[in-house]
Amino acid sequence: MGSIERRAASDPRDVVTAAGISIRPTLAVDVPEMASIEALAFSDPWPASSFHELLAHPFSRMATATDEAGGIVGYCIILRAADEAEIANIATAPGARRRGIGARLLDDAITAVESAGGVAMFLEVRESNTAARALYASRGFAAVGRRRGYYRHPVEDALVLRRDATALE
Ligand SMILES: CC(C)(COP(=O)(O)OP(=O)(O)OC[C@H]1O[C@@H](n2cnc3c(N)ncnc32)[C@H](O)[C@@H]1OP(=O)(O)O)[C@@H](O)C(=O)NCCC(=O)NCCS
């Protein structure tokens, strides 16, 4: 796949980006492939209908990451409410991980929220999800709470993470 490029060291987020990856608004035709990635990424995946419902939701923002050939390699969904936003879902296709796609998607979401005046972002993450927790920590998300038994298959606590707009600035 594409080569890896790195932003200038002076960039406070020091984002590693995968060359050839594009991020664009999600289209209805993306949903079957997104649902396939979802089924591989989560033990309790959203059905395709959830993606379709959120596409029609006035407060959602859905982004799709594509590779050089236009294939879908990831997605990120946020829900906005007043000056706050929630990362509702983010995943990278298993074969495309550790190439900076998740970071690109998260940075894109953060930029969108902050450009619109958002001051805080939240999300829930399985306590055992070390990959996602490392990604979020790298973007300034910090634990602010715990929801006991929040997840199914298997039952597990969720950590609630928050990122303020000033994080890492
Ligand atoms: C979490 C997820 C989206 C990360 O996507 P990705 O495209 O592989 O992430 P990136 O390549 O952009 O990684 C960015 C940073 O996240 C961290 N990270 C990602 N995967 C990691 C892993 N397996 N172990 C430790 N750290 C990891 C690292 O800090 C990494 O930076 P580095 O590669 O310079 O070390 C991906 O693992 C995934 O889809 N998981 C299943 C779905 C999921 O758990 N979503 C989150 C729900 S809350």
Contact 66, 18 (CB under 8 A): no
Which protein residue has the closest C-alpha to ligand 1 atom 32? 98
In this structure, is residue 44 part of a structural domain?
yes
Residue 132 lies in a domain: no
Give residue 117 CA to ligand 1 midpoint distance, Å.
27
The residue nearest atom 17 of ligand 1, judged by CA position, is 135
**Euclidean distance between CA atoms 36 and 121, whole angstroms:** 27
How many domains does the chain divide into? 1
Q: What is the pLDDT along the chain (169 residues), one digit of tens a residue?
A: 333 333 333 333 333 356 799 999 999 999 999 999 999 999 999 999 999 999 999 999 999 999 999 999 999 999 999 999 999 999 999 999 999 999 999 999 999 999 999 999 999 999 999 999 999 999 999 999 999 999 999 999 999 999 999 766 5
Domain around 109: 4-119
Query: By the 8 A CB rule, do 86 and 121 touch?
Result: yes
- Of 33, 114, 124, 156, the catalytic one is 124
Q: Measured in whole angstroms, how far is the alpha carbon of residue 24 from the centre of its chain?
A: 13
Is residue 35 included in any domain, yes or no?
A: yes
Is 76 among the domain residues? yes
Asked whether residue 131 is assigned to any structural domain, the reply reads: no
CATH at residue 103: 3.40.630.30
Going by C-alpha positions, the residue among 125, 131, 129 that lies closest to residue 162 is 125
C-alpha closest to that of 137 among 11, 7, 13, 1: 13
